[in-house]
Amino acid sequence: MHRSLKTTTAAAAAALILATGTVLADPVTDDELVVNGELELATEAEPAAHLDGALGDRIYSGWRFRDTETRAMQKDDFDNPMFLFVDAGLEAWDTAEGTEGKSCADCHGAIEDSMKGLRASLPKVTDKGELWSLENFVNDCRETRMGAEAWGWNSQQMKNMTAAIGLQSRGMPVDVAVDGPAAPFWEKGKEMYYTRFGQLEMSCANCHEDNYGNYIRSDHLSQGQINGFPLYRLKDQGPVSIHQRFVGCVRDTRGETFQAGSQEFRELELYVASRGAGLPVETPAVRH
Ligand code: HEC
Ligand code: HEC
């Protein structure tokens, strides 16, 4: 009884995914991501050795799986709706807050210099041996150095700031540490990536590894890379954080999800980031 129920569920899940002919399903090949007519961002790269061929011989940005209009919006910062939020983040960078009366700029100076390259290396292990995402670093400064209140993980202010900081690494290849103190976190993230969730009993890999290029309902499945986050999602008409996207994907399997900011999602973030090692940071990307 239980067994046949399981089989039915798996069959239902498989039926969701519509394998089309390879030609139609492939990532687009006749377009290039050149931003503002000058910044060329590679949208494919050689897979990291640790992937062991799991993604074939190329890794691809999610941009390659979106439609022409969505791709076009990311080619021009004036058309990219995320720049409204980047601007708000830049303003917050210069704004004094909290009991210490300090702004981010008072200590860090110009965001263009002090935050350059940071996004490409996150999440990373701190001196205290904890795995931190960008949001953790921002809130640590707010609470312990500014005497200001922490921002919610998915709050508008936090997404404005992470977008403004992420932009300073645009074009730099994702390069997260997966060895040394990061290794145990990475292993846990990897385990989670291959764990089946929810009523549909589907893992991240079932969609983003086994079926990228195929369609699920009307969505062209990508490899689920995070090099463009936080990004503007047309469907939500607003910015979306990495963990917010994870929550959405787990919910789509009709599963119980972890909280944004949780230890589990930071480990998953590290592992997913490492699957995109070598792809340039695209922050802030546009998706549908
Ligand atoms: C009172 C000084 C001070 C203020 C104000 C401050 N920071 Fe920091 N911040 C630091 C110090 C010190 C560190 C740790 C040393 C380092 O890595 O630069 C740090 C680290 C960071 C890091 C991690 C950098 C890295 O390379 O690992 C980020 C991100 C960051 N701060 C963002 C912010 C943001 C955003 C604000 C404003 C909301 C802010 N900080 C306000 C002093 C400050
Ligand atoms: C049932 C299929 C399914 C499962 C399972 C699933 N996703 Fe997704 N995911 C999607 C769809 C559909 C999209 C939107 C189209 C796309 O980019 O693939 C998406 C998008 C994403 C994106 C955004 C990519 C981009 O470039 O914008 C990320 C990141 C992601 N998923 C990560 C995950 C992770 C991590 C898991 C496991 C916790 C997971 N997904 C599980 C279907 C799934």
> For the segment 119-142, what is each residue's pLDDT rounded down to a tens digit?
999 999 999 999 999 999 999 999
The answer on whether 108 is annotated among ligand-binding residues is yes
pLDDT band at 147 (very low <50, low <70, confident <90, very high): very high
Whether the per-residue pLDDT at 7 is higher than 80: the answer is: no
Q: How far apart are CA 204 and CA 97, in angstroms?
A: 40
**Mean pLDDT over each residue of the chain, to the nearest integer:** 93
Q: Which of 286, 281, 285, 283 minimizes the C-alpha distance to 235?
A: 286
Q: Give, to the nearest 10 degrees, the angle between helix 156-167 and helix 83-93.
A: 90
Q: Which of 184, 186, 202 minimizes the C-alpha distance to 194?
A: 202
CA distances from 15 to 12, 97, 160, 200, 203 (A): 5, 52, 39, 11, 15
Residue type at 239 in one-letter notation? P
Whether 170 and 279 have beta carbons less than 8 Å apart is answered as no
Among candidate residues 42, 54, 118, 249, the one labeled active-site is: 249
Residue nearest (by alpha carbon) to ligand 1 atom 23 = 137
What pLDDT is attached to residue 218? 84
Residue nearest (by alpha carbon) to ligand 1 atom 12 = 107
Under CATH, what is the fold of the domain 44-288?
Cytochrome Bc1 Complex; Chain D, domain 2 (1.10.760)
Q: HSE (CB half, 13 Å, CA atoms) of 76?
A: 6
- Which residues, judged by CB distance below 6 Å to any ligand atom, belong to the binding site of ligand 2? 62, 65, 202, 204, 206-208, 216, 219, 221-222, 224-226, 228, 245-246, 249-250, 252-253, 268, 272, 287
Which element (helix H / strand E) includes 233?
A: strand 231-233
pLDDT band at 6 (very low <50, low <70, confident <90, very high): very low
The answer on whether 204 is annotated among ligand-binding residues is yes
pTM: 0.95
Is residue 249 flagged as an active site residue? Answer: yes
Ligand sitting nearest the alpha carbon of 139: 1
